[in-house]
Structure 1
Amino acid sequence: MSFTLTPYQSNAVTLCVEEVRDAQRVFIERAKKTAVGLSAPTGAGKTVIATSVLERLIFGDETTEGNPGLAILWVTDDPALNRQTLDKMLLASAQLTDGDLVEIDTAFDQKRLDRGRIHFAHIHLFGKGTTSMQPSNSRENGLWEIVANTVEAYGSNFLLVIDEAHKGVEAKRDAATIIERISHGGTADHFTGRPHPAAPVIFGITATPERFKRAMDRAGRSLEMIEVPVSEVRESGLLKDRIIVRHPGESQAAESTLLAQSVVTLKEFDERWRAYTELTGAPLVEPLLVIQVRPGTSDAELGSYLSSLESEWLLLKGDAIAHSFESHATLTLPGDREVRYIAPDRIAADSRVRVVLFKSALTTGWDCPRAEVMLSLRVAKDYTNIAQLIGRMVRTPLAERIETDESLNSVTLYLPHYSKSEVAKVVQALGEDTGGDIEIAVEPVDCVKNTAIPSECFALLGALPSVARAKKPWRSQTDRLLGLARLLRGHNLVANASAQAQARLVGAIKTEVAVRAAEIQELVNDVMELDISETVWDNRRGQFVESDNQQSISTKVQDIDTQFNAAVRALPDATAKWYWNTLCDEMDDPYEAKAHVAALVKTKEMAIAFKKAVEAAAADQSEAWRVQYANQVSMLGKQARLDFEGAWNPRVGTLAVDIEIPASVSAPSETITGSGEHAVTSPVPVYDKHLYVAPSDHRVVPEGKYPFKPGSAWEIDVLEKEIGYATLVGWYRNPARSKHGLGVPYPDGEGWALMYPDFLFFHEVDGAIVVDVVDPHGHQGWDTGPKWAALSRWARAHHDKVRRVVAVIKVSDELKALDLTTDIITERLDECTTKASIEAVFAEFGGDY
């Protein structure tokens, strides 16, 4: 892969490859047709995962040889989606080339699909009306015949991939869909009159797997489903944290106002991204505004929209504005204005465009993470369509969470023609489309510092010890070392760090070669020369006998290349190529040098030994650099220290940081009550004494109040009880996954995760202000014990910073509290993995809240 896979992507790839290979074996051994499914939420990188899966199936991996005889048919319901996928694969893959990816069109005419290639087709090519794909005087092979011939000739070496596998897999009015016939066989009499054979193995890819599951069950196929949790995707930084929904009050004319406001928001995103690029050197993101206009919108209305856009920002004219209407022609509007057409799948790559107009759907082929603002000028009828579109806008533009400016982790939706009840339906649809794991903030208010709160509260908040996560995943110790080398060079600590790293790894290979010199030379000879034996059938004896005619011939360079490439795949990163470059300086024949490299993995035992040697050397060099440069790194900025910490300690991946006091805090002012057709928006309850409060000009939240949207009814009980204490001077809703919040690390099995206690309360006691941490939480999860054990350790380690740290649960409608500052509590909570075990600890050591 050209991309470094995240841990969840790498895990999904491994599982998918294993299941597909198992499915192929099942078909060979028992002729049983099966399916494998990949379910991952929008933004998870399904195409990147699928590309890696197909790469490993065709070219092999460290443990299994590839299958160059595999022919793959990738089917979707839209040609634009195929082109987009093909482009993504070329970008993501280090092994697939243009020649390996074939887009089937009317010129494609051969008996069967090619082995070792991925063929892209859309279902319309298989339809009755597509006569250009049927046998004729000018066409020898129809598309149905090509696929049928491939299935019959290749068997398990034919893999059907269905992208967006929730579409077209269920029959309509008792008639099989095209996808169903390709998948499970059936008649295709409009082409051949003969039954179409079923695909031996199906690999389905979808964000919503229920239809695919039902379809495979009806067809009698066993299905192995690999599902990627939304939480892991967002934790990786690939999904934005927040969707902001803005709408007017009831019966307010707001179209022009919110059109102008959407441009203001676009400009704010543009300014913030430019500042981020200047600060970090990251690629510049040029944000996009997507405007959905009403069907039947006149040219005069479109012209007025363009005038408004340009009046708000002079940049928005000419090529900066494009449309994706069904009519693909350039629009000519009053005043000799022209608006060019742009295909949805080309928007992301066209850096000139900053505003895109569309009428109905912009979901198929649509994938543009820089689209960060949407305005819908339609009436309230398109809840699901809007939700699907926004679902495509929650991907992070740089494939990582932005730590220095949290506003860049959001997407904004404006709905000028939606009432409160209609907004509620959109929000519910958004929750369903995003898996419920992305915060949806309706009419958020930017709360400012509460001037009635003593300044000591803010000072105490900033003094609480917190941690942040270093999120860089490393696929190997070698990858980690090379990443560390880039950091050292980038921060001017080691000018030739990459060269030093390569030299250390090549040196490790040479050391291992010296130990195994005789064995390796024999293997080099095996690579360079091919021994040919002769076996003869002896008619008199009625058996085969070995002939004395033995010969040795030189191996062709193509076969040496094949064995060399196997070594490149088996050894970490580019170490095989670096070793080859070194040998080329020592040997006259580059192919002899390749044979020496190939010999390193000629046997399984040898391959394991050299991989271990390289990985051990990489780990040692990383540690040596840590010891040598840790002090200098500690004087760098926060983000640089986080990056280094992720390389120093890849399993821990956390760094002690100070909580940054925000200038303002954003909080939703409205919430959703009811469900379905009865869903409406209602004001969020507001409270006094929060560290941040609404300004005077907000239309929903009164000045001096803070809107608190609770996760449960008993969170309100906890908050109201704490606010009721006469000593309380202020409180703070601790934000999760934020540099403005208190984070505490806890072990999650694979490494470390972060927990964020819900509330911080500030009390004045004996003339001094003290801090209490209170965490009301459901306790049914297996990780509740480890989380609170970690918070207990934190409380005891920083007893000088806090007065009390309390966990709160609800048992039989009664609130129970547990003081986390005592020694024995930590050990007991460490052992808790069930709801009952948590309740037992509260019963023994806790009391009424």
Structure 2
Amino acid sequence: MIDLQQLLGNYSEGELAAILGEGVLEMYKRTTGQDVTKEVLMQSVVTLYGHELLTNSSMRTRLIESMNQEQVKSLFLCFCEVIGEDIKNEDNIDFYETLKNFSELKTIEFAELFGVSIGEFSAEKNNTSVDGIVKLDPAYPMYPYQGEMVEKILSLMQGGEKKRCILHLPTGAGKTRTAMNVASEHLRREKKGLVLWLADTAELCSQAANEFKKAWTALGDRQIKLYSYYSDTNISLGGIDQGFLVAGLQKLHAARDSQNYKILYEQLQSHVTLIIFDEAHKAIAPTYKTTVNHMINANYNTFLLGLSATPGRQLEVGNDEDAELAKFFDNSKITMRVAGYQSPVKYLVDEQYLAKAEFVPIDYDGISISYANEFSNSKRSNEIRQALSEDGARNKKLLEVIEKAHEQGSSIIVFACSVDHSLDLASMLSFRGIKAFSLDSKNDDASSRRYKISEYLKGNVRVIINYNILTTGFDAPRTNVAIIARPTDSLVQYSQMAGRAMRGKKSGGNEKCTIYTVRDDIPVFRSVIDAFMHWDNIWNEV
């Protein structure tokens, strides 16, 4: 195996620092009082950008060009042996250019020379045979409480009196799986049915599409089509009259306003029989609301099912937005009720479907914020996050908390103040010998995002830092520590971030989890139970 770090010895300290980001060395020295050696810089670049150095065309080219003639020849001959290229006359070969070309054509094999596997996922296989008795596990199982929710929803859909409701389950309790069972049963009953799944991010849309593949493969009774209409997909809306359609809200709204798609959009309206709206607390945003109403008004038998762990918009009780959201879903909510429990969250924790959460504040001597006033407008909110991300005392404390949790063997997800803050934290952790990945929509393409998430899911990296990427649509049951390093006055957003660490043992997660936060001044943020029940008074349970 080729030593990538050794090859980085050809880079200057300035070049290595530039890969990590401008100002991070100065920030680290200001934060800790320590300098960073070239050896540590090389280790950090391998940790944070080893995948990109081998798979990104421009970074790989720079790596090859930095090698001396002996190194590039040795690597080229080794690479040729791996890919089965027979080299007959070495004297006429430009090793630099040929290695660049070969590595572009055979990127996967090139990366494997350095011990980096791209897109490799492991699958566990279980032997379930016991002395002549074979235990048959369902391919797409539900927990008992999920089955009860499915029956309630299907009963409401069949009753005909209500055409809208919201499914309210805690983050980590399996809203998506529950809804996929509803969708699959609906399609089995309605042979010409068309389910429209709506979400506002590519991550959530992709998660839904992948989940339906698993669900229908196990539960379906015939061949149907799965349509993906989000991000950069370019399918036509024409001819979609049955099956399962995953649509990004922004893209569907754009089609509605487009002259080219108007007729196809109107045809689609007439076929939709069930709409499922993921993260339903967003449904009353003007464009989203209009899109949903258009789909329902075209076919009055269409049923609308919303999914949310936080069926509200504002922290203050009795506000107009919460009332509007409830009205949009006919004030109807289906949730868990367990005899002997005030809240289903306590039951889910006791039964180990969810992890028992300990909320720990992160105290530091630094910037003080009065949240009620400071978050009054988005510009001021951005200024606050920028100031916090550069606060030395705050960053030092965050590094200490992450380092301690890492030493304890935890799998940690960190929510940073900004993209730059995420990158800086990852770099500074690498200076301390901790392998951490930063994930963001600005610097990561689909390949690097999949690679980083894969490494985290497999446990090869136990710290993943992000800004506005992993709040929703990310399932990593091994996560047992969430560090909320970004300020927020949104109970919805806070609950989503905390929920990333709350998968219980029965869901492949943990018995306990820890939620660290730099903010602890709103009482409901200290209790998952209180947060789950916060909006109960605006809904009617059905």
Q: TM-score, normalised by structure 1?
A: 0.37
Aligned residue in 1 for 2:525: 429
Q: Take 1:200 and 1:99, find their aligned partners in 2: how far apart are those partners? A: 19
Structure 2 counterparts to residues 679-718 of structure 1, below 5 A:
none
Q: Take 1:199 and 1:344, find their aligned partners in 2: how far apart are those partners? A: 44
Q: Take 2:443 and 2:207, find their aligned partners in 1: how far apart are those partners? A: 18
| Alpha-carbon distance change, 295 to 135 in structure 1, aligned in 2, over 3 angstroms | closer
* Partner AA of 1:21 in structure 2: Q
Confirm or deny that 1:327 pairs with 2:481.
no
Aligned residue in 2 for 1:307: 431
> 1:424: how far off?
3.0
Residue of structure 1 aligned with 2:497, choices 389, 393, 409: 389
| Alpha-carbon distance change, 92 to 397 in structure 1, aligned in 2, over 3 angstroms | farther
Aligned residue in 2 for 1:292: 416
Aligned residue in 1 for 2:227: 102
Confirm or deny that 1:370 pairs with 2:478.
yes
Aligned residue in 2 for 1:232: 347
Aligned residue in 1 for 2:302: 200
| Alpha-carbon distance change, 199 to 21 in structure 1, aligned in 2, over 3 angstroms | closer
| Alpha-carbon distance change, 250 to 11 in structure 1, aligned in 2, over 3 angstroms | same
8 A contact 2:423–2:438 mirrored in 1: no
Residue of structure 2 aligned with 1:148, choices 269, 284, 292: 269
| Alpha-carbon distance change, 112 to 222 in structure 1, aligned in 2, over 3 angstroms | farther
Structure 2 counterparts to residues 229-628 of structure 1, below 5 A:
229-248=344-363, 253=393, 255-256=395-396, 258-269=398-409, 287-290=411-414, 292-294=416-418, 296-297=420-421, 303-308=427-432, 310=433, 313=434, 316=435, 321-329=436-444, 340-341=448-449, 349=457, 351-360=459-468, 362-378=470-486, 380=487, 384=491, 385-396=493-504, 398-399=506-507, 408-415=510-517, 418=518, 422-425=519-522, 428-431=524-527, 435=531
Partner of 1:150, secondary structure, is coil
Confirm or deny that 1:163 pairs with 2:278.
yes
Partner of 1:371, secondary structure, is coil
Q: Take 1:291 and 1:186, find their aligned partners in 2: how far apart are those partners? A: 36
Alpha-carbon RMSD: 4.0
1:421-443 deviation digits (Å, cap 9, x = unpaired): x4333x63243686369xxxxxx
Higher helix share: 2
Q: Take 1:382 and 1:247, find their aligned partners in 2: how far apart are those partners? A: 16
> 1:43: how far off?
1.4
Aligned residue in 1 for 2:69: none
> 1:121: how far off?
0.5
| Alpha-carbon distance change, 343 to 73 in structure 1, aligned in 2, over 3 angstroms | farther
Aligned residue in 2 for 1:209: 311
Aligned residue in 2 for 1:75: 198
Q: Take 1:123 and 1:291, find their aligned partners in 2: how far apart are those partners? A: 25
Aligned residue in 2 for 1:58: 187
Partner of 1:326, secondary structure, is coil
Q: Take 2:503 and 2:464, find their aligned partners in 1: how far apart are those partners? A: 18
- Percent same amino acid at aligned positions? 20
| Alpha-carbon distance change, 409 to 16 in structure 1, aligned in 2, over 3 angstroms | same
Q: Take 1:227 and 1:391, find their aligned partners in 2: how far apart are those partners? A: 18
Aligned length: 352
Aligned residue in 2 for 1:795: none
8 A contact 1:363–1:392 mirrored in 2: yes
1:700-749 deviation digits (Å, cap 9, x = unpaired): xxxxxxxxxxxxxxxxxxxxxxxxxxxxxxxxxxxxxxxxxxxxxxxxxx
Structure 2 counterparts to residues 743-754 of structure 1, below 5 A:
none
8 A contact 1:37–1:203 mirrored in 2: yes
Q: Take 2:253 and 2:358, find their aligned partners in 1: how far apart are those partners? A: 40
8 A contact 1:388–1:433 mirrored in 2: no
Q: Take 1:340 and 1:373, find their aligned partners in 2: how far apart are those partners? A: 23
| Alpha-carbon distance change, 12 to 99 in structure 1, aligned in 2, over 3 angstroms | same
* Partner AA of 1:162 in structure 2: F
Confirm or deny that 1:90 pairs with 2:213.
yes
8 A contact 2:525–2:531 mirrored in 1: no
> 1:52: how far off?
1.5
8 A contact 1:76–1:162 mirrored in 2: yes
Q: Take 1:347 and 1:78, find their aligned partners in 2: how far apart are those partners? A: 23
* Partner AA of 1:55 in structure 2: S
Q: Take 1:233 and 1:118, find their aligned partners in 2: how far apart are those partners? A: 31
| Alpha-carbon distance change, 20 to 376 in structure 1, aligned in 2, over 3 angstroms | closer
Structure 2 counterparts to residues 117-156 of structure 1, below 5 A:
117-128=243-254, 134-136=258-260, 144-150=265-271
Partner of 1:43, secondary structure, is coil
Residue of structure 2 aligned with 1:113, choices 225, 235, 240: 240
Larger radius of gyration: 1
8 A contact 2:180–2:212 mirrored in 1: yes
Q: Take 1:183 and 1:91, find their aligned partners in 2: how far apart are those partners? A: 26
Confirm or deny that 1:8 pairs with 2:156.
no
Q: Take 1:181 and 1:359, find their aligned partners in 2: how far apart are those partners? A: 29
* Partner AA of 2:406 in structure 1: L
Partner of 1:424, secondary structure, is coil
> 1:73: how far off?
0.8
Q: Take 1:250 and 1:373, find their aligned partners in 2: how far apart are those partners? A: 23
Aligned residue in 2 for 1:178: 287
| Alpha-carbon distance change, 375 to 166 in structure 1, aligned in 2, over 3 angstroms | closer
Q: Take 2:409 and 2:175, find their aligned partners in 1: how far apart are those partners? A: 27
The structure 1 segments of at least 4 consecutive aligned residues displaced by more than 6 Å after TM superposition are: 298-301, 343-348
| Alpha-carbon distance change, 180 to 291 in structure 1, aligned in 2, over 3 angstroms | closer
| Alpha-carbon distance change, 7 to 235 in structure 1, aligned in 2, over 3 angstroms | farther
* Partner AA of 2:187 in structure 1: I
Tell me, which stretches of 5 or more residues in structure 2 are unaligned? 1-137, 314-320, 337-343, 367-391, 534-542
* Partner AA of 2:288 in structure 1: I
Q: Take 1:424 and 1:216, find their aligned partners in 2: how far apart are those partners? A: 26
Q: Take 1:111 and 1:58, find their aligned partners in 2: how far apart are those partners? A: 20
> 1:373: how far off?
2.1
| Alpha-carbon distance change, 56 to 340 in structure 1, aligned in 2, over 3 angstroms | closer
Tell me, which stretches of 5 or more residues in structure 1 are unaligned? 27-32, 60-65, 152-157, 171-176, 188-194, 271-286, 331-338, 402-407, 438-849
| Alpha-carbon distance change, 216 to 196 in structure 1, aligned in 2, over 3 angstroms | farther
1:505-559 deviation digits (Å, cap 9, x = unpaired): xxxxxxxxxxxxxxxxxxxxxxxxxxxxxxxxxxxxxxxxxxxxxxxxxxxxxxx
> 1:90: how far off?
3.1
1:776-830 deviation digits (Å, cap 9, x = unpaired): xxxxxxxxxxxxxxxxxxxxxxxxxxxxxxxxxxxxxxxxxxxxxxxxxxxxxxx
Q: Take 1:13 and 1:371, find their aligned partners in 2: how far apart are those partners? A: 28
1:202-255 deviation digits (Å, cap 9, x = unpaired): 122222335698447646x75643112333333332111122414246569464
> 1:11: how far off?
1.0
Aligned residue in 2 for 1:535: none
Q: Take 2:431 and 2:421, find their aligned partners in 1: how far apart are those partners? A: 15
> 1:13: how far off?
1.1
Q: Take 2:164 and 2:224, find their aligned partners in 1: how far apart are those partners? A: 27
8 A contact 1:74–1:118 mirrored in 2: yes
* Partner AA of 2:527 in structure 1: G
Highest RCO, 1 vs 2 (Cα 8 Å, sep ≥ 6): 2
8 A contact 1:237–1:400 mirrored in 2: no
Q: TM-score, normalised by structure 2?
A: 0.55
1:628-683 deviation digits (Å, cap 9, x = unpaired): xxxxxxxxxxxxxxxxxxxxxxxxxxxxxxxxxxxxxxxxxxxxxxxxxxxxxxxx
Q: Take 1:16 and 1:39, find their aligned partners in 2: how far apart are those partners? A: 11
